[in-house]
């Protein structure tokens, strides 16, 4: 059996850092939450939204699933984990922003791309990532001669747009966006460089929002601070 001591030690360190140094934090947290944003991220262990954004407790209401996907609004007797999380964030917590946080080298999108070759992933994964089948099909149609790696990177971005469109099929999301009470954001994180891009609806391109990490840039910031 794997040793989980590192996680227990981590909890102790967390307690000391957040509660030991701030004894009033517990009272603040149990009074309720008022996050600014719902962040819809991937389950990928390499891309933890709270760590990547350096957020404090209570800043983000985080929903994670394979490939950070949002299904379209659909009423049925099925279990709707993603939809119920979106509903709670929007209707109960009244977040002002929803961020779809995609990333490079996503295994879920890789499974989606492989499905075009008839390779179905698992019992549930293949059906789930098929939510973004239109993104895969668009990439394969527009980039038929590109390498599988470039096609996958493009599909990761296109899948973000699918989720943004699907968010607008939820009536209470659409209503709040129309009233200016809610903003939707599509972010793409490059885990190799740390660069963050956002989808610009005016240019219909993913443009740089936060530059990639550079030791030289870090030195410049330190010298001017």
Render pLDDT for 32-53 as a digit per residue (tens, 0 to 9): 999 999 999 999 999 999 999 9
Q: Is 159 helix (H, G, I), strand (E, B) or coil?
A: helix
| CATH 3.40.1050.10 placement within the chain | 35-224
Higher pLDDT, 1 or 215: 215
pLDDT tens across 140-181, in order? 999 999 999 999 999 999 999 999 999 999 999 999 999 999
d(CA 94, CA 49): 20
- In this model, does residue 223 exceed pLDDT 50? no
Neighbour tally for 75: CB within 10 Å: 7
- In this model, does residue 119 exceed pLDDT 90? no
Could you say which architecture CATH assigns to the domain 35-224? 3-Layer(aba) Sandwich (3.40)
Portion of the chain with pLDDT greater than 90, in percent: 73
- Is the full-model pTM beyond 0.85? yes
């Amino acid at each position: 059996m794997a040793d989980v001591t590192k996680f227990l030690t981590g909890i102790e360190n967390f307690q000391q850092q957040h509660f030991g140094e701030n004894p009033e934090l517990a009272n603040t947290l149990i009074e309720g939450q008022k996050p600014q944003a719902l962040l819809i991220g991937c389950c990928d262990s390499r891309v933890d939204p709270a760590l990547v954004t350096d957020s404090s407790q209570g800043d983000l209401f985080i929903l994670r699933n394979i490939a950070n996907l949002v299904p379209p609004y659909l009423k049925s007797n099925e279990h709707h984990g993603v939809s119920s999380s979106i509903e709670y964030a929007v209707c109960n917590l009244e977040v002002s922003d929803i961020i779809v946080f995609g990333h490079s080298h996503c295994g879920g999108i890789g499974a989606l791309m492989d499905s075009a070759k008839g390779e179905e992933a698992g019992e549930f994964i293949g059906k789930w990532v098929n939510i973004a089948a239109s993104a895969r099909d668009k990439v394969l149609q527009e980039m038929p001669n590109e390498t599988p790696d470039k096609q996958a990177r493009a599909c990761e971005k296109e899948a973000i747009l699918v989720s943004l469109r699907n968010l607008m099929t939820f009536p209470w999301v659409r209503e709040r966006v129309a009233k200016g009470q809610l903003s939707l954001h599509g972010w793409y994180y490059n885990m190799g460089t740390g660069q963050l891009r956002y989808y610009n609806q005016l240019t219909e391109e993913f443009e740089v929002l936060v530059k990639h990490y550079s030791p030289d840039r870090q030195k410049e910031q330190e010298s001017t601070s």
